[in-house]
Amino acid sequence: MQTSTPDLSEFHFPVSKIFRWPSKPSEWNEYRLSKEQVEFFNEFGYVSNIRFLGAEQIGLLNEQLGNIMEPEHPGHHLYYEFHSNESSDPNSVLFHALGAWRITDGFHDVLWNPAFVMAASQLLGNRAVRFWHDQLFCKPAHHGGVVAWHQDYSYWTRTGPIQHLTCWIALDDSTVENGCLYYIPKSQNWGLLDKPELAGDMNGIMDYLTEEQKAQFKPVAIELKAGYGTFHHPLLVHGSYENKSNRSRRAFVLNVFADGTTSNSNDEMLQGVPRIEKGMKMEGKFFPLLFDPVGTQ
């Protein structure tokens, strides 16, 4: 289908002035996580309450989100996946889509947010950061659906080794009442579990846990103000409950891995993306290098 919407995956650099890229090493210091934050992540599998966006940036992204949630949007074909409702409950709604970075300048340029790439590099062991894919998760007021307990890497085994990272950023205030994210601290040490249906039974993962793991299953609510976010380990068990409040809960997710990650499969990585032969490095148009810490010290 012909469209006037350009495919922004062609551009491996910011295409707008939404974020200012530091021009010298000393300017990166304001974006660094503290030693204590990195240590907390290494122990518990997550680190939260990190500010990524200002009010103007939040407003822009929410405006663009409202446009690209419509199936009639001229850039719709650029999504890897688009689910206007992925919930298995007919009385609930969970909007979930992958590929917004290809469609709008806002969701494209958040990949190069200095606060994001610097922290991601630190949590990956001060390594270069390469993009995997993005996600949108939106729960409308009153009937927002669940995201079942799961580990992200259980859906990503076509890449390896496990050196991935997820960043979840709130576009609304995210609270217990409107379906915020929950973590199971230290569950990144449980190894890889079987994967449940993502928008199905909230507790489907329980079928795959040992009695010891069930005893350690103590959810922690991650409440965030709009513009703030949280990082978590690819094996950390997490999920979010339904939204029955009178407020929406919109968020986007950036998934990355350390440079040098390779393909574990000859299957398609993402819908419409050319296959990467098993054993070959993950790179190219759809998996750009976002940040290399060399020169930022």
Q: Which among 284, 235, 243, 242 has a CA at the least distance from the CA of 261?
A: 284
Q: Which amino acid is at 42?
A: N
Overall domain count for the chain: 1
23, amino acid identity: S
Beta-carbon contacts of residue 29 (< 8 Å; ≥ 6 apart): none
DSSP 124: T
Please check whether residue 272 lies inside any domain of the structure: no
Q: Is residue 267 part of a domain?
A: no
Phi first, then psi: give them for residue 40, nearest 5 degrees: -65, -45
pTM value surpassing 0.85? yes
Residue 43 counted as domain residue: no
pLDDT of residue 103: 98
Q: What DSSP character marks residue 4?
A: S
**pLDDT range class, residue 88, cuts 50, 70, 90:** confident
Q: What does the pLDDT read at residue 101?
A: 98
pLDDT band of 2, cuts 50, 70, 90: very low
> Which tokens go with 1?
């289908």
The token pair at 224 is: 């965030």
In tens, the pLDDT along 89-134 reads 888 999 999 999 999 999 999 999 999 999 999 999 999 999 999 9
Please report how many Cα atoms fall inside a 13 Å half-sphere around the Cα of residue 89, on the Cβ side: 19
More confident residue, 2 or 97: 97
Mean pLDDT, the chain, whole residue set: 96
275 falls within a domain: no
Q: Exposure pattern of 227-246 as b/e (b: 16+ CB <10 Å)?
A: bbbbbbbbbbbbbbbbbebe
CA-to-CA distance for 8 and 141, rounded, in angstroms?
Answer: 31
The token duo for 234 is 């690819």
pLDDT at 227: 98
Whether the per-residue pLDDT at 3 is higher than 90: the answer is no
Query: Tens digit of pLDDT for each residue in 31-80?
Result: 999 999 999 999 999 999 999 999 999 999 999 999 999 999 999 999 99
* Domain contains 71: yes
| pLDDT band, very low/low/confident/very high, at 212 (cuts 50, 70, 90) | very high
287 in any annotated domain: no
Could you tell me the residue range of the domain that residue 169 belongs to? Answer: 53-259
What count of other Cβ atoms lies within 10 Å of the Cβ of residue 25?
10
Residue 137 lies in a domain: yes
For residue 295, what pLDDT is reported?
75
The pLDDT score that the predictor gives to residue 188 is: 98
Instruction: Check which CATH number belongs to the domain holding 239 and give it.
Output: 2.60.120.620
In a domain, 22, yes or no: no
What is the tally of helices (H) and strands (E) in the chain? 5, 14
